Each structure stands twice: as C-alpha cells, then as structure tokens.
Amino acid sequence: MDVRQELVKLAESKPELAYLVRESLEAVDRSGTLLEIEGARLAILGKKGRVSEIFKHLSEVPAEDRPEIGRVANMLRRYVEAELARKSEELKESDAEAMQKRQALDVTLPGRRAPVGRKHLLTQVIEEVTSIFISLGYWIESGPEAELDYYNFEALNTPAYHPSRSLLDTFYIMKNEPDKNSPDDVLLRTHTSPVQVRVMESRTPPLYVVSPGKAYRREAIDATHTAMFYQVEGFAVDRGIHMGHLKGTLEVVARKLFGSERRVRFRPDFFPFTEPSAEVDVSCHVCEGKGCALCKGIGWLEILGCGMIDPNVFEYVGYDPEEYTGFAFGMGIERIAMLKYGIEDIRLFYENDVRFLRQF
Ligand SMILES: [Zn+2]
C-alpha cells in the first residue's frame, strides 16, 4: 500500500480528516505549473494551510484520537512536500529543454560568420590584365610549365650560345647531354613565350592570344627576384600587323592599368624572338613624371617587353613571313602589382601573411 492509499484509508477512519486529506491530494494533483504548485504548497503546508489547521484543532478532539490524527497530518505533510518537490523539479527540467529547443530554432539570432577568403593579389592582377585583352578581342591559351627546350628556346630563335640558356638560369628536369643543349631537354619554362610557338604550331592566323602563367628561373631570392613568378604573354598574328598596332594596343593596356592620364614610351631593346624589340615605360602614376621613390627619380616605370615577332620564329611554325606579321609582349605580374600598389618586396606575395594579403 503506498503512502497515498494509506492516507486515504486513515482519513476514512476519521471522517473529520477525510475531507481535508482528499482536498489536499486533489490540489496536489491539479497543480500543473510552478505557480499552481506554489499555490498548493501555501494552501496545504502554509501557516494558515490545512495541515496547520488540523494541528490547531487537535485540542478539540478526544485525547485518545489525537496521536492517530497527528500521525495522519504529519504523513500528509511529508507526502505533499515530496510530491510537490518532485513535480516542480520535473517542470523545471522540461522548461529548460523547451528553452534549449527555442534557442536552437531561434531564426532571429545572427548567424556565425564563416571566415571568407579572397583572391590573392596576383590572381586579381592576372584577371585584370587578361580581362583588358579579352575586351580587345583576345582569347586565353595556356601551355605546360615543364617544357621542352625546343619550345622554350630553340623555336623562339634563341641560339644555343645565348646566355639565357646557361645552366645557371634554367631549371633542367632532364638533360640529354650534360654540357650540350638539345631540343629534347626538359626544363621548367623560363618565360611564358613557349605558348606562342605551341599555339602557332597548331592553328593558323588570325591569332590574338594572351597566356598568363608561371615561369621559373634559377634566381637568388631577394626583394625583386623569386625563382618562380608570373607572366602574362600576349601576341597577335595576322595579315598586315605592324608596329603601330603594337604601340596602340600597349598604350591602351598601360592606361587601363595605370590611369588614363599616363604617357607611354617605347625604348629600343633586344629579345631573340622579336625584331625590332622594345621596352615599354609608363609615366609614374605617383609623381606624374616629376620623380619619386617609386620611379627612382626617373619619372617613368618600366612595365613590359615587346616587339615584332621575328620572321625566324614564323619559319619554325611553318608560317610564311611574307604573308603574316605579328607582335608579341610579355609582362611580369609581380612587377605590375608592385608598381600599381607600391609594394617594395616581391617576397610578400609568397609569404602568404594574411595581414598583407587582405589589404587588397
Ligand atoms: Zn614617380
């Protein structure tokens, strides 16, 4: 027999108790909220509650009945205390659960922000340069970084004795003879120009191509040199292309990159695969040509090399130099980025310090 049944039974033997006990048990059963539980506690166990009421009137009942009534009242008190405590504990737990569920589903809470990456500055500059050429009608081509000597040197009219073929400048992957250059040697391309030969070999003009990519040279690494760097190569081959087209094209590109007010100048230079060849300078965008730290007081910034494609190169790819002419140019992406943003050390691009990279 549990406490509750015992209470009811005991109360029945004392009709004057039966009503109080039953009413108390019902009050406990009815209470479903913390507020109702507190109400029941006061009504039954409080100073003016039913249990106190029983004890207060104990003196009015016959002496022999008093111990039995006292026992019932105490039993009722302990039962109600335990039952209300159990109920309120249960409610608190389910409240906490409900609260957790509400929080888990709270759509008004701000989301947790995932760290967002961004494009590396060199990627941004590559995209900027290539998009300028695409707007001029060029398309993008690419070629292998591990390249044959033939494409990197031979077919670009670079004779075997040219200094750029020295073992010191080039990373060789496979050399057929240690002291001799062979068109079958495999190397890491020293520039992006081999793409010219590969594209011309496989297609016929007109060609208007840009080719961004990595190039490799055995350089001691310092503030302006790295062993791997980015170039954007470009070339146009068509009937009737002349130096005026080259100048006009590169002027447009230089002004789009460095500002519409820039002046552009061409200085004669030498490259084995172009004739004539030129270096292109743009007037300094920091000092407007007066001379400053960026342009080292000269007022001009050297931005790329270019020239008319040497007829010998056309012979290698089977074009008739009497029918087709063309120009080519190549620019270092790191150099363009350094000039554009006033970055003084090329190594910053490759150290991947996000404090540097996220400025751009
Ligand atoms: Zn300047």
DSSP per-residue codes, 225-269: B-SEEEEEEEEEEETT--HHHHHHHHHHHHHHHH-TT--EEEEEE
Of 325, 304, 331, 321, the C-alpha closest to 243 is 325
DSSP-H helix ranges across the chain: 3-13, 15-30, 34-45, 50-56, 66-104, 121-135, 149-152, 194-202, 243-258, 311-317, 333-341, 348-351, 354-357
Distance 209 CA to ligand 1 centre (A): 32
- Cα–Cα dist 293/299, whole Å: 10
Give the number of residues written for the chain: 360
Confidence at residue 333, expressed as pLDDT on a 0 to 100 scale: 96
Give residue 290 CA to ligand 1 midpoint distance, Å.
6
Residue 307 Cα to ligand 1 middle (Å): 26
Query: Quick count: other Cβ atoms within 10 Å of Cβ 64?
Result: 7
Q: Which residue has the higher pLDDT, 164 or 203?
A: 203
Distance 301 CA to ligand 1 centre (A): 8
The predicted pLDDT at position 306 comes to 97
| DSSP helix/strand/coil, 94 | helix
Q: How far is the CA of 283 from the centre of ligand 1 (A)?
A: 8
Q: Are strands 139-140 and 207-216 parallel, antiparallel or unpaired?
A: parallel
Residue 167 banded pLDDT, cuts 50, 70, 90: low
Helix (H, G, I), strand (E, B) or coil at 136: coil
pLDDT band at residue 168 under the 50/70/90 scheme:
low
Q: How far is the CA of 213 from the centre of ligand 1 (A)?
A: 29
* DSSP output for 295-327: TTTSSEEEEEEEEEEPHHHHHHHT--TTT-EEE
Residue 11 has pLDDT above 80, yes or no: no
Q: Which residue has the higher pLDDT, 269 or 168?
A: 269
Q: 293 CA distance to ligand 1 centroid (A)?
A: 6
Per DSSP, the residues of 205-230 read S-EEEEEEEEEE-----BTTB-SEEE
How would you class 298 by CB atoms within 10 Å of its CB: exposed for 0-12, middle for 13-18, buried for 19 or more?
middle
**Looking at this protein, which amino acid is placed at residue 168?**
L
Q: Calculate how far, in angstroms, residue 223's C-alpha sits from the geometric centre of ligand 1.
A: 19
**pLDDT tens digits, one per residue of 219-260:** 888 988 899 999 999 999 999 999 999 999 999 999 999 999
Measure CA of the first residue to CA of the last residue in the chain; give whole Å.
81
**Unique residue bearing structure tokens 């270019």:** 306
- Expressed in angstroms and rounded, the spacing between residue 256 Cα and the centre of ligand 1 is 18
Q: Cα(355) to centroid of ligand 1, in Å? A: 26
Give the distance (Å) from ligand 1 centre to CA of residue 60.
112
Q: How confident is the model over 307-349, as pLDDT tens digits?
A: 999 999 999 999 999 999 999 999 999 999 999 998 989 999 9
Report the b/e string of 165-182 with b at 16+ CB within 10 A.
beeeebeeeebeeeeebe
Instruction: Give residue 282 CA to ligand 1 midpoint distance, Å.
Output: 10
pLDDT tens per residue across span 119-159: 999 999 999 999 999 999 999 999 999 999 999 999 999 87
pTM above 0.85, yes or no: no
Query: How close is the Cα of 337 to the center of ligand 1, in Å?
Result: 15
Per-residue pLDDT at 1 exceeds 60: no
**Superfamily, domain 121-357:** Bira Bifunctional Protein; Domain 2 (3.30.930.10)
- Arithmetic mean of pLDDT, 277-294: 91
Can you tell me the distance from the alpha carbon of 282 to that of 304, in angstroms, rounded to the nearest whole number? Answer: 10
Distance 300 CA to ligand 1 centre (A): 7
Which tokens is 115 given?
């760290």
pLDDT at residue 164, rounded to an integer: 64
Q: What is the pLDDT of residues 16-75, one digit of tens each?
A: 778 888 888 888 888 888 888 999 899 888 888 888 888 888 788 788 888 888 888 888
Residue percentage of the chain with pLDDT more than 90:
54
**Closest among 90, 211, 67, 76 to 144, alpha carbons compared:** 211
339 CA to centre of ligand 1 in angstroms? 10
